[in-house]
Structure formats: structure tokens, C-alpha cells
């Protein structure tokens, strides 16, 4: 097969591993910077161009689209879908998962355990908004944030009001969530491929840090998850419509609560913590499922 990997940096660990895994299994793999793609929006003749050439002949595309370029990245992916190329994750599913509020609403509707979350626009709502989330301490998150950026723990009501006022002053959209103290600064990343949890790790934030992101100095280790956690991860990925996902959850006193469903989960942390060849599993999934024109949405939505 001929596989396109949409990535802005061919030297990134995840990108390199996917290229190596594809080659090891006898496929061609080409890294394409989606920010440098341009498209021909013509009736009945959708096409993607890159560095002066028309991209043709690809059987599958693996999107590794950063959160900051979601809009253009998913537009390029949607164009691939319209030409019949099989996407590892569809553009509409990626957009859905990247919208923190929308994704929480969808998960909530299907009964997935979530931290109590509040969302408002008017400054008059601040006091009641904090009550909705159970009062201080609360976690305040920018909707557009990623990798722990734009996430603040407000330990008192006054601190929470100050952070909310600052975010509103920037005209930023944000969520207010209950703080799950019993998680102890740790979360669980479940890596889902094709409706199965293939690997799990516990991420522990460094001392004094409530965020467990590896990019912020957190440490990862292998962990055994419960049947409830496994089911929650699989269902969450399915609700988002993602074939491959990293489902992040906390262990609370009332069961697992999902924090985020990541549509482009990194491979380095999970592979090193578990010793599993996740990249090869991803290529294996493509081998079994890549059929021209199989995209459910065919670029819609």
C-alpha cells in the first residue's frame, strides 16, 4: 500500500515510528506537511496538491494534525477523503474530538463518566458557575488548550474568580471543572485501536504539579486497567467516531471519569512505558480496513 502521513515534522518520534512500521510491513510511506498542501475545489474533480505536484495513488492517510492547525489540517484530510483515500481517523471525528465542549456534551449524552463541568459566557454567571462545579478548588481550562497549556488549578473561590475574569478579558472560551483530588495528580491514558484497548499507562505529574502531561515533566508507567476503565475507553473512542484514540481518564471515588479523547495521541510515551509496538498495530489496522471510498462521511460534516 501507499500511505500518506500528514505531519509537519518528519523527525518527530510518532511520525518516524509510523514510517518505519509501514516500511517494515512492506508498504510505501510518505510524510506530507499538511500546512503546505493546497487544494483544487472543483466539481467532481477534488484534488490535493503539494509542492507543485498532484498527490495521487494513495491508499490510506494517517493524520497527525496538531491542535493549533486543526481547521486547515482537517480541510486537507477532508479533501483526501473526497478522493476516496481511506483515513485512519476521519476529519469530522477529529474536529468533534478537538472541540472540548462538544466532545463532553456527546460523552455526557451517552452516559460516560465525566468531571462535573460548567460553561458560561456572561460574567454575571461566575458565582453560580463555580457552584455547578462543586466550588473551589476547581480546574479552569481553555477550550483551545492542549498538552496541559491553558489549564489552571484555582484552589480558592477568589483565585477562581480572578482566573475567570482574566480569561474573559482575553475573550477566551473556557470550562470550569471539579477538581478530582483523589487522583493525586495522575491520570490513565488508554490507547484504543479499532475498538480495542491495546495499551495503557499511568501518567504521574511531577511533585507539586496537578497536570500529568508528559510534556510537562510527568512520568509514565505500565498499569493494569479495570474492566470498567477498558469499557469506558472503548465507548469514548466510538462516540467520537475515532478508529485510533488516546482516552485520558482519572480514577475518582465514583469510577473512571474521562478528561479528553485525543485524536492524534503520541506514540513515544505509550511505547516506552508498555514496550508495545503501537505503530505496527496502527499500520496493521490500516491493512485490514483500508478500502477505497470506505470513509463514512465522504468529506461531509
Same domain as 42, residue 54: yes
Span 238-249, mean pLDDT?
97
Report residue 293's pLDDT band, with 50, 70 and 90 as the boundaries: low
Asked if residue 210 and residue 105 are part of one domain, the reply reads: yes
Phi first, then psi, for residue 249 (nearest 5°) are -140, 160
Q: Render pLDDT for 130-157 as a digit per residue (tens, 0 to 9).
A: 888 888 889 988 876 555 567 888 889 8
| One-letter-per-residue 3-state SS of 245-259 | EEEEEEEECCEEEEE
Residue 211 has pLDDT above 70, yes or no: no
Return d(Cα 53, Cα 76) in angstroms, integer: 15
DSSP H/E element including 8: none
Q: Is residue 298 part of a domain?
A: no
- Same domain for 194 and 165? no
- Residue at 62 is within a domain: yes
Q: How far apart, in whole angstroms, are the C-alpha atoms of residue 72 and residue 33? A: 11
pLDDT digits (tens, 9 = 90+) for 39-69: 988 777 889 999 999 999 999 999 999 988 9
Domain of residue 162, residue span:
117-179
How far apart, in whole angstroms, are the C-alpha atoms of residue 249 and residue 236? 10
List beta partners, residue 174: 142
Q: Are residues 100 and 223 in the same domain?
A: yes
Q: Is residue 293 part of a domain?
A: no
Regarding whether 207 and 163 lie in a shared domain, the answer is no
How many domains does the chain divide into?
Answer: 3
Q: Is residue 162 scored above 50 in pLDDT?
A: yes
Range with the poorest average pLDDT among 30-39, 64-73, 143-152, 178-187: 143-152
CATH number, domain with residue 59: 3.40.50.20
How far is 178 from 254, CA to CA, in rounded Å? 13
250 and 101 fall within a common domain = yes
Query: Which three cell numbers, joined as nine digits, stand for 274?
Result: 508498555
User: Would you say 187 and 259 are in contact if contact means Cβ atoms under 8 Å apart?
Assistant: yes
Q: What CATH number is given to the structural domain containing 144?
A: 3.30.1490.20
Query: What would the DSSP string read from start to end of 150-204?
Result: TEEEE-SHHHHHHHHHHHHHTT--EEEEE--GGGTTEEEEEEEETTEEEEEEEEE
**Residue 105 maps to which CATH number?**
3.30.470.20
Amino acid at each position: 500500500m501507499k500511505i500518506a502521513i500528514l505531519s509537519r515534522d518528519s523527525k518527530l518520534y510518532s511520525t518516524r515510528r509510523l514510517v518505519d512500521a509501514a516500511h517494515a510491513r512492506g508498504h510505501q510511506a510518505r510524510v506530507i506537511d499538511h500546512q503546505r498542501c493546497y487544494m483544487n475545489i472543483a466539481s467532481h474533480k477534488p484534488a490535493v496538491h503539494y509542492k507543485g505536484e498532484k498527490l495521487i495513488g494513495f491508499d490510506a492517510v494517517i493524520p497527525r494534525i496538531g491542535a493549533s492547525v486543526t481547521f486547515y489540517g482537517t480541510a486537507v484530510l477532508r479533501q483526501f477523503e473526497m478522493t476516496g483515500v481511506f483515513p485512519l481517523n476521519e476529519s469530522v471525528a477529529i474536529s468533534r474530538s478537538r472541540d472540548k465542549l462538544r466532545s463532553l456534551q456527546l460523552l455526557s449524552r451517552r452516559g460516560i463518566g465525566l468531571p462535573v463541568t460548567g460553561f458560561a459566557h456572561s460574567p454575571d454567571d461566575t458565582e453560580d458557575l463555580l457552584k455547578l462545579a462543586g466550588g473551589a478548588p476547581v480546574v479552569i481550562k481553555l477550550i483551545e488548550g492542549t498538552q496541559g497549556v491553558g489549564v489552571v488549578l484555582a484552589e480558592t473561590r477568589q483565585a477562581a474568580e480572578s482566573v475567570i475574569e482574566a480569561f474573559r478579558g482575553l475573550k477566551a472560551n473556557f470550562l470550569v471543572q471539579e477538581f478530582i483530588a483523589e487522583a493525586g495528580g495522575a491520570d490513565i491514558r488508554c490507547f484504543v485501536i479499532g475498538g480495542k484497548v491495546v495499551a495503557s499507562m499511568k501518567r504521574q505529574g511531577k511533585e507539586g504539579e496537578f497536570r500529568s502531561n508528559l510534556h510537562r515533566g510527568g512520568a509514565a508507567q505500565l498499569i493494569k486497567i479495570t474492566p470498567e476503565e477498558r469499557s469506558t475507553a472503548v465507548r469514548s473512542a466510538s462516540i467520537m467516531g475515532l478508529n485510533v484514540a488516546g482516552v485520558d481518564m482519572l480514577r475518582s471515588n465514583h469510577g473512571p471519569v474521562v478528561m479528553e479523547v485525543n485524536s492524534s495521541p503520541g506514540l513515544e510515551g505509550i511505547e516506552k512505558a508498555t514496550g508495545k509496538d503501537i505503530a505496527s498495530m496502527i499500520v496493521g489496522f490500516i491493512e485490514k480496513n483500508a478500502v477505497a471510498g470506505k470513509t463514512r462521511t465522504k468529506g461531509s460534516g
